[in-house]
Amino acid sequence: MIFYHIDGTGIAHWQMARMLLAGPDGDINWDRLPHVAVYRGHAEDVLTPSSNAGATMHAYGAKAPHRAFGTDAEGLPPLSPSGQRRSIMHEARARGLATGLINSGHAAEPGTAVFAASAAARGDVEDIISRLVGSGVEVMLGGGEIDFLPEGMMGRHGRAGRRTDGRNLVAEAEAAGYRVVFTREELAALPDETARVLGIFAAEDTYNDEPEEALAGKNLEPYDPAAPTLAEMTAAALRFLGGRQFLLVVEEEGTDNFGNCNNATGTMEALRRADEGLGVVLDFVESHPDTLLLYASDSSGGNPDVIGLRGARFEEEMLRTGRDINGAPVDGAEQTPEGGVARPFTSAPDRAGRRHDFVVGWGSMLDTSGGIVARAAGLNAEKVQGSFDNTVVYPLFYETLFGEKP
């Protein structure tokens, strides 16, 4: 069972990715998922959930409040459809299955961390990381080195730790039998039969989630080129978990974070990486048909959409000002210091060989709830149809992993 959570992605995100990567008539890996359903993502007390509430509902199959981090309104782990106060990952571990968590961001990002750790608040990062290291999850790959190390201790990624409890969780993980790696090369060098792996590939996140002009001023790329990509981390996890029955939860977090700061080029790169990783998983499912792959998101980060350009007068004004005619910001592949669009995005060729210019129009700097779908391939994928509530994720996982309904 593979849950591929590309955070903050709605249909418009994937339209953007398709146009740029394959052209309007082409297919990206996301298009290879044969089963589609409209995703319903509301939380217990709000229509657009937080990432931590969304992950709680995915992991436990019960509606949760906005502030939840693997908890219910009383602060307890939610009561799942199985009648237990356990996430689907806790349930899998209790039954002897192998488990894995992958995140392009900090290890405490809720989209993955909630499956293995509950906390009083999302900001309790020290506690969350401690719980992850003690969870027994066999494969954990992501960032966040500064929260594994005590204050003042210099890490492999050039920054000092910030834990106030004095604990060195890297050393504790090694003592618990984990092979701890910090680079793409160290990850690739691990043998397939490695039983426990902790990969920490950045001081915080493997991406730099700031607006384009801020990154340009700091001479930074959207992603750290030295860190392994989501595809590389996913391929490695499947090497380590393959041959066992397993539950793997994968998240690309940059898609959401770049959308929330209205960085279109960063969002495009995050989508490219997410789709590349999706190709790795789809190839695995095709060779292992007894696997379910479920893709979902819990929101649309920044609520972007595509505006195709034709050269009309109002579009020329939009490129000059960086604003749509209703005042909404627009992004291209290159901005001007004055805020206009120096160069729009250009699609890959269509079936007639033509390329098309477009810009990205932003609706918000927040998460929104429109245009979200769930998609699936492999075992039980046909159950993803019609309307698909976020609480249905848990029972689908349960039935696929254990062969019975909770």
pLDDT at 119: 98
What pLDDT, on the 0 to 100 scale, is given for residue 347?
98
Average pLDDT over residues 37-61: 97
To the nearest 5 percent, what fractions of the chain are helix, strand and coil?
35, 20, 45
The pLDDT value given to residue 148 = 98
Is 88 within 8 Å of 247 (Cβ atoms)? yes
Question: Residues 263-276: what's their mean pLDDT?
Answer: 98
Query: Cβ neighbours of residue 341 under 8 Å, at least 6 residues apart?
Result: 318, 319, 320, 322, 330, 331, 332, 334, 335, 359
Angle between the N-to-C axes of helices 11-21 and 264-287, in degrees from 0 to 180, rounded to the nearest 10: 90
Q: Are 80 and 57 in contact (CB under 8 A)?
A: no
> Which element (helix H / strand E) includes 63?
none
Tell me: the pLDDT tens digits for 303-317?
Answer: 999 999 998 999 999
Query: Which pLDDT value is given to residue 338?
Result: 87
Residues whose CB is less than 8 angstroms from the CB of residue 367 and which lie 6 or more positions away in sequence, other chains included:
8, 48, 49, 50, 51, 256, 260, 298, 299, 300, 301
Return the percentage of the chain with pLDDT > 90, whole number. 98
Whether the per-residue pLDDT at 104 is higher than 90: the answer is yes
Mean pLDDT of 79-94: 98
Range in 85-99, 157-171, 333-347 the model is least confident about:
333-347
- All CATH 3.40.720.10 domain ranges of the chain, comma separated, are 2-302+367-402
| Domain range 2-302+367-402, CATH architecture | 3-Layer(aba) Sandwich (3.40)
pLDDT in tens, 116-152: 999 999 999 999 999 999 999 999 999 999 999 999 9
Residues in CB range of 111: below 8 A, 6 or more apart: 5, 7, 51, 54, 55, 103, 249, 251, 253, 298
Average pLDDT of the residues of the chain: 97
* Burial class of residue 266 in the structure, from the number of CB atoms within 10 Å of its CB (0-12 exposed, 13-18 middle, 19+ buried): buried
Please compute the mean of the pLDDT values over residues 68-78 and round it to a whole number: 97
Q: What DSSP string runs through 64-89? A: --TT-SS--TTSSPP--TTSSS--HH
What integer pLDDT is reported at residue 337 of this predicted model? 84
Strands 341-343 and 334-335: antiparallel
Give strand ranges (E) for 13-61.
35-40
Contact 406, 62 (CB under 8 A): no
Tell me which long-range contacts 177-184 makes (C-beta under 8 A, separation of at least 24): 182/145, 182/156, 182/157, 183/156, 183/226, 183/228, 184/226, 184/227, 184/228, 184/232
At residue 243 the predicted structure's pLDDT band, cuts being 50, 70 and 90, is confident
* Bridge partner residues of 198 (DSSP): 140, 180
Buried b (16+ CB within 10 A) or exposed e, 104-121: bbbbbbbbbbbbbbbbee
Q: What is the mean pLDDT of residues 179-190?
A: 98
Q: What integer is the mean pLDDT of 19-45?
A: 98
Work out the average pLDDT over 91-109.
98
Give 325-365 pLDDT, tens digit per residue: 999 999 999 999 889 999 999 999 999 999 999 999 999 99
